[in-house]
Homo-oligomer: A and B are copies of this chain.
Amino acid sequence: MNTSLAYVRSTTTIFCAVFLLICAAKTSGQTPQSSPIRDVPYRQLVSLNHDWSYLEKEIADVQRVNESSEEWARIDLPHTWNLWDVVDPQPGYRRSAGWYRKELFVPVLKNRLRLILSFEGVNITSEVFVNSSRAGGHVGGYVGFDMDITPLIRQGTSNTLLVRVSNAYDPDVIPSQKSDFCIYGGITRDVWLNIVPEVFLGRLQILTPVVSASHADVQAHFVISNPTGKPESFEAEVTVLAPGGREAGRQTLAVATRGDTVTVTAPLVPIVNPLLWSPNQPSLYTARVRLKRGRTVVDEVEERFGCRWFEFKAHGPFFLNGKRLLLRGTHRHEDFAGYGNAMPDSLHRSDIRMIKEMGANFVRLAHYPQDPEVYRACDELGVLVWDELPWCRGGMGGERWKNNARRLLAEQIGRYYNHPSIIIRSLGNEFNWLPDFPGGDNLDSLRLFLRDLNSIAHRLDPGRLTATRKFTEGADLVDLVSPSLWPGWYSGYYRGFEKALTDSRNRFPYFFHAEYGGDSHVGRHNEYPVTGDGMSEGWEEQITPQKIKNVSLSSDWSENYIVDLFDWYLYVSEQLDWFSGNAQWAFKDFPTPLRPENPIPYMNQKGLVDRSGKPKDAYYVFKSYWTTAPLFCYIESHTWTDREGPKDVRREVNVYSNCAEVELWLNGVSLGRKQRTLTSFPACGLSWQVSFAEGRNSLRAKGPGAAEDTMSLNYSFKGNDVADHLELSARPQETGAILITALAVDKNGNRALDYNKRVYFTTTGGGSEYAGTPSHSPIIEMANGRASWEIFPPAGHPVVVEVRNQDFKGAYVTISGRGSAR
């Protein structure tokens, strides 16, 4: 493969962008004294996240915005105007435009500096104005863009940046509004000011055309921008630094510029016995390019990269650096309770860290390119990445649509080029579903356009494999395909999993299994979870799942059903020697406009953790299969605190653990030790049949080297009668919040464990926003007769909190100003 050729072509189509991270300075007040811009002859990277104003108005004309007397809100970036409305009970969320404004003082500069505004992502469409003149714009969210604003800047004074952002419906821009997630609006990622010298280095791309255990060739591609118009000669020095900082190789070359932009492919830098990048040892090299005029360094840029190679064997497993690696993956949406997708870098990183700590070595970034911090975290923590073009649902459109899709693919590749974590370049997901244009699901047209995208991807990004999910009609057109396999949820039953995999193995030489799982509602448990008997055969998700009998519609979305499903999937996949691996859907609960009637309305509840990152039971199943340290035990389930059943019926108690053996005690009496073995199901054999005592029971589990896990539960031999009414209680939290808990109880005051209907909380003051977590949704289904809501009552002011539903009315609790219930 002629990668050099591929690269040269790429520079002609990729938006000319700088992608540099050297230093970041927090901006503050915009006075001459405190301008973030220094008058120095070298590059600076300045954060522009702070001190913005925001106007929530759909105004088209920048002049009208300037003249508007509206009150702007003071905000910091990242920001979305859809923070709460994506999960409030009102259907839909704001799909419109808004304006952002920032004052930027630029001092008088003796150095000839260029000011380049760099957005990491603005959803979806943006127009940028500097001092009321248009500086540029961008169509498409989720991918960054830059613009040189130097000509519009006035020195020695304040400059006004205005950005119009719109997330209004535009079927010509992917993803389709029919996607099963929210299309947030706003400047949802960081904004930077790149201040570069007059002559500067642009994009630096690193290729490793040859990598083996003993040798790697590193090749730097970069752009020199010299807008002076004067021909000049420079020396470019390419240095490769090994993970510890030691110099691993260097090449120097002379570059003649004619006073414009020149693209340079530097000579190969060989590395002997490279430290290979892998999930277990994510070794990162640095490539540094210095541009020199004689002895003076004119500009310098650095990029990190890794040395690794990989392969999917036909009908067989995945290999990384020559060794089989079972891909253990999950999915990530860019979303967090209380932030929407406007998350700070720390939260982006903690998401990836938590995924890594669960034992995953793979993540599919669904269904769009994500924040740069995500890729940095995956590089550094060792998580392989399936990156995806946001061609999600909606079929395909006309030329405008196609040009947008092609350009966004090129931009995405350009900006995320050097990350060793990325191995798969997905071209889309379910894109033949629910066309936005007449004939938009025509198979021939879809195949033709997929071939087009595939060719762009291979040309611009030769080191990665292309893929799609669900569109198996085009499986022959991409390197890797993920069919739709949801046995046990959208069709079939989970014990059909291996059959589904084998079918796909036979049909698709190169396949990876993305997306499996199901919804679970925290705290809901069932002594007799569904088994899948009587469900429709098969395993495919349907566009309209209600047409067939399936678990997603027939079950109660209990935590223990989904634990069983995941346990089975992992039990199977961990033992298949030919299997490349799979990715569970999805790591975290996330909002979607398509599911208004879920237990938490508008929340896709397929997460292993809730929307605030709190683990559900299923999280521990994965952790038990995928991690070896630290050692832990988790008794299923800490939220299953009330159970019932006849005196003589034993109950299964599973312990999810990575210990070699675990002992379980009931009420202080050992129930014996069990060996953990991958060939046993459930819980790798850490499963006990337990005869609970009536009333209070304690459970304790312990494995060698692990901390013990304990819990207590109430057990009733009689079981509850039908739900008779709701009872409310209030408990102050450490945060100052009050947790209101509603219990459905029978006429004897026993909790009605079979009562799972929706309840509606209201308060006369201090209600918390709809954050989509189990304790921050005032409309929520009960979980075994319980539901909670956290509120922040105003100080010194009693409030009344009510709970009701169609069946029960009138339960309320009064909370005094100090937060105590009376």
Contacts and interface: CB of A to CB of B under 8 A. Distances in A.
Contact of A764 (B95, B596, B762): B95
Interface in A679-732: 722, 724-725
A596 B808 CA distance: 11
Interface stretch (A199-207, A510-518, A799-807): A799-807
A808 B760 CA distance: 25
A760 B434 CA distance: 18
Interface in A780-822: 800, 802, 804-810, 812, 814
Contacts of A808: 544
A178 B546 contact: no
A814 B758 CA distance: 34
A763 B93 CA distance: 9
Query: Size band of the A side of the interface?
Result: 35 or more
When all copies of this chain in the complex are counted, the total is 2
Contact of A596 (B546, B597, B805): B805
Nearest to A760: B91
A204 B485 CA distance: 82
Contacts of A295: none
B804 A594 contact: yes
Given A597-B758, A764-B168, A809 B178 contact: yes
Interface in A726-758: 758
A91 B779 contact: yes
A243 interface: no
B89 A597 contact: no
A33 interface: no
A169 to B, nearest CB: 4
B169 A800 contact: yes
A2 B511 CA distance: 97
A770 to B, nearest CB: 9
A429 B809 CA distance: 16
Contacts of A288: none
A464 interface: no
Contacts of A778: 91
B764 A169 contact: yes
A593 interface: yes
A377 to B, nearest CB: 32
Nearest to A90: B89
B89 A804 contact: no
A76 to B, nearest CB: 27
A595 B806 contact: yes
A20 B810 CA distance: 40
A761 interface: yes
A169 B798 CA distance: 11
A393 to B, nearest CB: 8
7 contacts: A89-B89, A91-B762, A176-B810, A434-B809, A544-B724, A544-B807, A596-B758
Interface of A: 88-92, 95-96, 168-169, 176-178, 180, 393-394, 434, 436, 544-547, 593-597, 722, 724-725, 758, 760-765, 778-779, 800, 802, 804-810, 812, 814
